[in-house]
Amino acid sequence: MRKTCLNLVYELAKKDPRVVFVGSDLGPGVLDDMKREMPDRFFMEGVSEQHIIGMAAGLAMEGFIPYVNTIATFITRRCYEQIAIDLCLHDLPVRLIANGGGLVYAPLGPTHLATEDIAITRTLPNMTVVAPSDADEMARFMATTLDWPHPIYIRLGKGGDPVVTGNQKTFEIGRSVTLRDGTDIQIISTGIMSGRALDAAEALSIDGISVGVIHLPTIKPMDTVAVLLAAKSKMLVTLEEHFKAGGLGSAVSEVLIDANQIPERGILRLGLDDTFPLNYGSQDELLEAFGLQPPGIADSIRTALNVRN
């Protein structure tokens, strides 16, 4: 997903002279082709997140479309005020490419985990928040970023995630994608969790529970029509690789509460508990520890269905 995203920055830069790339001391070799062919539009700055956001704002004020790339947690926590004021208050078309959303950097520990990034970006006016599920979807999404007039936070997975949106031809910011139809329960998920939602839905179907999966690659602006339609099912489940506080589950709940439309057996929010992870290991191991792999997801849904019967 990351490779696709960066390659597309290069492709977009070749066809549109407004595109510039700003990195923050990334690994060697990143976008070497762009650096060689368009040295005036390739910037590898130092470890200075506050500065690169401000610099990108200055470039955007002058008509450029900067794609700023660094690790997700650094591009949100360290420079949050620059994002709020320089980008969102000015409503500038800067794209934040956030590497390692969620638990991708599990072995590196809590300093490198982006587990509240959706919450803190989606609450800023003018911001758009996107978390594609796979490389194919990333490619379709990137093509839409040239002319979107607002800042975008782009949450990247680790890469190599299974392609679950293969049946899609286009990407529209703010539009949901139905990955599976179901009549009893709807799972609304984002990012790489949509693949796990499909596996959990399959497991539940063996028990005779019909589960639909709606993938929300755009968390903001939200596809409220799809969310309200999903709420007509018996129970609505939200699933995310993010703290339960403030993320997709919160955003979906806000829509339902505002519309006074709560499913018969309520909303089940699945995500990370309110704690910094106590372990290292892999992304998959941490997801399992939080009950966010398909068997854990299916168990949580079965339990909730029984308790709320």
Question: Which residues of this protein are in contact with other proteins, per CB under 8 A?
Answer: 20, 40-41, 43, 45-46, 48, 50-64, 66, 81-82, 85-86, 89-91
Q: What is the smallest separation between the CB atom of 292 and other proteins, expressed in angstroms? A: 36
Residue type, 8: L
Cα torsion 228, 230, 234, 239: sign: negative
Token pair 């299916």 in the structure block, residue? 298
In the complex, the smallest distance separating the C-beta of residue 120 from other proteins, rounded to whole angstroms, is 16
Task: Between 97 and 211, name the residue whose CB sits nearer to other proteins.
Answer: 97
Sheet containing 95-99: order of strands:
42-45, 19-24, 65-71, 95-99, 152-155, 128-130, 218-220
Nearer residue to other proteins within complex by CB, 20 or 177? 20
Q: DSSP character for 161? A: P
Q: Which is nearer to other proteins, 68 or 98 (CB)?
A: 68
For residue 150, the Cα-to-chain-centroid distance in whole angstroms is 16
CB 90 within 8 A of CB 127: no
Q: Of the two residues 126 and 210, which places its CB atom closer to other proteins in the complex?
A: 126
Write down the least CB distance from residue 89 to other proteins, Å: 5
Closer residue to other proteins in complex, CB, 85/228: 85
CB of 70 to other proteins, least distance (A): 13
> In the bound complex, what is the minimum distance in angstroms from residue 108's beta carbon to other proteins?
23
Q: Which residues of 108-130 are buried (b: 16+ CB within 10 A; e: fewer)?
A: eeeebbbbbbbbbbbebeebbbb
Q: How far is the CB of 40 from other proteins (least distance, A)?
A: 5
The smaller minimum CB distance to other proteins, of residues 40 and 274, is found at: 40
Give the torsion sign (CA, 106, 110, 113, 115).
positive
Cβ–Cβ < 8 Å for 191, 118: no
Tell me if 53 sits within 8 A of 87, measured CB to CB: yes
- Residue 89 or 225: the one with the smaller Cβ distance to other proteins is 89
Min dist CB 245 to other proteins, Å, is 25
What's the CA gap between 211 and 233, in Å, rounded?
A: 10
Q: For the chain, what's the residue count?
A: 309
Q: What is the CA radius of gyration of the chain?
A: 19
Task: Identify which of residues 78 and 242 has a Cβ nearer to other proteins in the complex.
Answer: 78
Residue 61: CB minimum distance to other proteins, A: 6
Cα–Cα distance for residue pair 31/25, rounded to 1 Å: 12
Classify residue 204 as exposed, middle or buried by CB count within 10 Å of its CB (0-12, 13-18, 19+): buried
